[in-house]
Amino acid sequence: MNLIVIFISAAIVNNFVLSQFLGICPFVGVSKRLDSAVSMGMAVTFVMTITAVVTWLIYHLLLVPYNLEILQYVSFILVIASLVQLVEMFIRKVSKPLYDSLGIFLPLITTNCAILGLALISVLRNYSFMESLIYSIGAGAGFTLALVIMAGIREELELADVPKQFQGAAITMIIAGSLALAFMGFAGLI
């Protein structure tokens, strides 16, 4: 039960993008087309899940026993950077068009605060191994959800008659704000 609560909380109620405002960069950058938004969500979810597992192991098996908690930032970033490299190579091998459409935002997952934030929050809340795994999957699902909703809206927006002053970045910001407002509605769910 606890695990389900953690999942729902990470995915919807405390959605990383729309409630905690982490990972805004790809949220705005890669939400122009639905298919690339889905793949970006997948890539981030993958990195998040593996990061959560590996950082949990590093933190609890290496850093805590030797009182080296101060090194958590360095070691977490190390893990994230390596994983992103791996994902980048993999996507490039499997699908070159996808690699091109993600562009600079793929290597930028390294500096995506959602992922480092996830690892640090897991430590902060003292999650067990299972809990932090579920938490990371939930966070990834929430990130993908936010990206997909945004991309869906922006694809529709291409056909909409937006006033000239609001075209481009402005309307994107307004929509992101409205989405965040909408997600506030989930606050009472848990």
Partner 1 sequence: MDLSAILISMGGMGGIGLIFATGLAIANKKLHVEEDPRIAQINDVLPGANCGGCGFAGCMNFAENVVKGNAPLNGCPVGGVGTANEIAKILGVEVEAGEPLKARVLCQGGLNEMAIKGEYLGLKSCVAAHISGGAMKLCEWGCLGFGDCVSACMFDAIYMNENRLPVVIEDKCVGCGKCAEACPRNIIEMHPISHRVFVKCRNQDAGKYSRLVCTRACIGCGICVREAGENMMYLENGLAHFNYEKWGNKADLPTQKCPNHVLVSLDEEGTT
Using CB under 8 A as the criterion, which residues of the chain lie in contact with partner 1 when the complex forms? 58, 62-63, 66-68, 71, 74-75, 78-79, 82, 85-86, 89-90, 92-93, 96, 103-104
The span from the CA of 17 to the CA of 113, in Å, is 10
Least distance (Å) from partner 1 to the CB of residue 59?
A: 11
Least distance (Å) from partner 1 to the CB of residue 126?
A: 21
Closest CA to 90 of 51, 148, 28, 82: 82
Least distance (Å) from partner 1 to the CB of residue 123?
A: 16
Of 3 and 71, CB closest to partner 1? 71
Least distance (Å) from partner 1 to the CB of residue 80?
A: 10
Read off φ and ψ for residue 142, nearest 5 degrees. Answer: -65, -40
Of 103 and 177, CB closest to partner 1? 103
Closest CA to 118 of 102, 134, 107, 101: 134
User: Do residues 4 and 168 touch, judged by C-beta distance below 8 A?
Assistant: no
Of 89 and 181, CB closest to partner 1? 89
Of 22 and 84, CB closest to partner 1? 84
Of 63 and 139, CB closest to partner 1? 63
Least distance (Å) from partner 1 to the CB of residue 11?
A: 29
User: Do residues 132 and 56 touch, judged by C-beta distance below 8 A?
Assistant: yes
Q: In b/e form, how buried is each residue of 118-138, taking b as 16+ CB within 10 angstroms? A: bbbbbbeeebeeebbbbbbbb
Read off φ and ψ for residue 124, nearest 5 degrees. Answer: -60, -40
Closest CA to 102 of 32, 45, 150, 10: 32
